[in-house]
């Protein structure tokens, strides 16, 4: 066992992101507020994976909590995985696409979300979170894995 391993066990945060698309192929974006992270920028319904839940369970929970919809596990498709360097920690980000759901999309977290907006994922609002832009491009081109925040 190396000295590094004995002193510190590496951990990585897992997050899930929902690329929800309507019949016109537009994606749902949420404008963040009062979160302390990328406030004023557009993101996706997303969140951390809790212990004891699968990635699809986490994605379904976040969709229910943030935008009030129910998604069947079979309607989630893993579209992109990103290994992201955040400076003081690393993350594995799992982006799921979904075209079918039950319920009406609504803003269930008005304290954290200023607005919901359907838009083309090819023509994003100017203030879209930077690593999301990379993920959307990767999804469009069928690229399953990407990295963000690492120095070349």
Q: What is the pLDDT of residue 134?
A: 96
Percent over 70 (pLDDT), the chain: 95
Asked whether the CA dihedral 145, 47, 112, 68 is positive or negative, the reply is positive
Residue 11 has pLDDT above 90, yes or no: no
Residue 61 has pLDDT above 50, yes or no: yes
Say if CB 68 and CB 104 are below 8 A apart.
yes
R_g (Cα) of the chain, nearest Å:
16
Residues in the chain: 152
- Helix segments in the chain, DSSP class H: 3-7, 55-67, 130-140
Residue 4 has pLDDT above 80, yes or no: no
Give per-residue pLDDT as tens, 75-102. 999 999 999 999 889 999 999 999 999 9
Beta bridge partners of 97: 19, 77
- Kindly state the average pLDDT of the residues 135-144: 97
Alpha-carbon dihedral of residues 39, 134, 78, 38, nearest 10 degrees? Answer: -10
Record the pTM: 0.92
Domain coordinates in residue numbering, the chain: 13-148
Using DSSP's 3-state secondary structure scheme, residue 149 falls into coil
Q: Output the six-digit token pair for 114.
A: 């200023």
Rounded CA-CA distance 97/76 in Å is 6
- Kindly state the average pLDDT of the residues 114-121: 95
Of the candidate ranges 6-20, 45-59, 107-121, 137-151, the one whose mean pLDDT is the lowest: 6-20
**Which homologous superfamily does the CATH classification assign to the domain defined by 13-148?**
Nucleoside Triphosphate Pyrophosphohydrolase (3.90.79.10)
- At 1, the pLDDT band (50, 70, 90 cuts) reads very low
For 32, phi then psi, to 5°, come to: -75, 145
């Amino acid at each position: 066992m190396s000295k590094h391993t004995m002193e510190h066990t590496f951990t990585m945060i897992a997050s899930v992101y929902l690329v929800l698309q309507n019949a016109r192929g537009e994606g749902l974006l949420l404008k963040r507020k009062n979160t302390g992270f990328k406030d004023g920028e557009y993101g996706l319904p997303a969140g951390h994976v809790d212990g004891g839940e699968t990635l699809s369970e986490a994605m379904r929970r976040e969709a229910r909590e943030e935008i009030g919809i129910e998604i069947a596990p079979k309607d989630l498709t893993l579209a992109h995985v990103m290994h992201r360097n955040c400076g003081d920690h690393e993350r594995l980000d799992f982006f799921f696409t979904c075209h079918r759901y039950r319920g009406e999309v609504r803003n269930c977290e008005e304290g954290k979300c200023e607005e919901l907006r359907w838009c083309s994922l090819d023509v994003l609002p100017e203030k879209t979170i930077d690593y999301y832009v990379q993920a959307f491009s990767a999804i469009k081109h069928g690229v399953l894995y990407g990295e963000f925040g690492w120095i070349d």
